[in-house]
Amino acid sequence: MQLINQQAQLRTVIGGLKKEGKSVALVPTMGALHQGHLALVERARSLADVVVASVFVNPTQFGPDEDFDAYPRTLDDDRRLLDECGADILWAPATTEVYAPNHSTTVTVSGTTDGLCGAARPGHFDGVTTIVAKLCNQTQPDYAVFGEKDYQQLATIRRMVRDLDMPVQIVGVTTIREADGLALSSRNRYLSETERAAAVALPVAMRQAIQSIRAGEPVDRSLVTLEGTLLAGGFSSVDYAQLRDADTLEPLTSADAPARLLVAAHIGKTRLIDNMAVEPIGSG
């Protein structure tokens, strides 16, 4: 695996591969890699001749009071894992290599960014879409692979690529979970032992809510119960617990169409997000 941290070198290498007719799949990450990220790399390998994984903790997607400084940076471990997993190129630029001092351009997607993390983290999705657009321009991928773990992000990136006619196919990968159901996340490293044990309440309460919605319980009542279960189970606050259309992310009050339950909640100093499919009532 080749480690590249200069744009000029990346351009030469990718240009050469493209000339040879090789297809490229990009896996954007912020590092602190776990099995969830590696599942994306596996999928990328099945799609294209060359897999480029990027590791870049993107400052513009963090709010002023968020964890940009504390975010785990583990490049040596990430490099080893990506190498073992069969990635071909690790693109790990410094911030100064990515953003000019007077960087002036932002990509904003509306609609899919309304509410949920868009409300809880102002400016976050502008940071995400801008960096993903830049990473695609830098690496010229045929495919870009993202996790369903960040479902609103995935829907927003699909929308950006469609609206801007970007020549890349977006591929979503199912969320990888711990044995007890907690979604893998780089931020799980922040959890103390007690918090980690309590965090399992998130997927458990979500599954219960889905069951009750599919059993015909009103959606709002199921969501209130979900929030109550999280607060009783050791979470300090719930940013949101909502049912949304699985494609458009528009709010839903009943599960007649394919839907997604999306939740963000705080445990100690850590903010966890998760989402699950809610099949329409009457199906399956």
> Which residues of the shown chain bind ligand AMP in the complex (CB under 6 A)?
29-30, 36-37, 39-40, 146-147, 149-150, 173, 175-176, 183-186
Is residue 34 part of the annotated active site? The answer reads no
Nearer to ligand AMP, 213 or 262 (CB): 262
Cα 125 from chain centroid (whole Å): 11
CA angle 232, 205, 247 (to 5 degrees): 135
Nearer to ligand AMP, 71 or 235 (CB): 71
d(Cα 249, Cα 113) in Å, to the nearest integer?
Answer: 9
d(Cα 131, Cα 58) in Å, to the nearest integer?
Answer: 7
Query: In the bound complex, what is the minimum distance in angstroms from residue 184's beta carbon to ligand AMP?
Result: 4
Query: In the bound complex, what is the minimum distance in angstroms from residue 39's beta carbon to ligand AMP?
Result: 6
Phi-psi map region of 237: left, alpha, beta (phi>0 left; psi -120 to 50 alpha): beta
At 11, list the tokens.
């351009």
Nearer to ligand AMP, 37 or 196 (CB): 37
Nearer to ligand AMP, 11 or 177 (CB): 177
The DSSP bridge partners found for residue 144 are: 26, 170
Query: In the bound complex, what is the minimum distance in angstroms from residue 34's beta carbon to ligand AMP?
Result: 7
Catalytic residue (one of 37, 103, 124, 266): 37
Nearer to ligand AMP, 52 or 183 (CB): 183
Query: In the bound complex, what is the minimum distance in angstroms from residue 282's beta carbon to ligand AMP?
Result: 29
Query: In the bound complex, what is the minimum distance in angstroms from residue 166's beta carbon to ligand AMP?
Result: 16
Residues with a catalytic annotation lie at 37
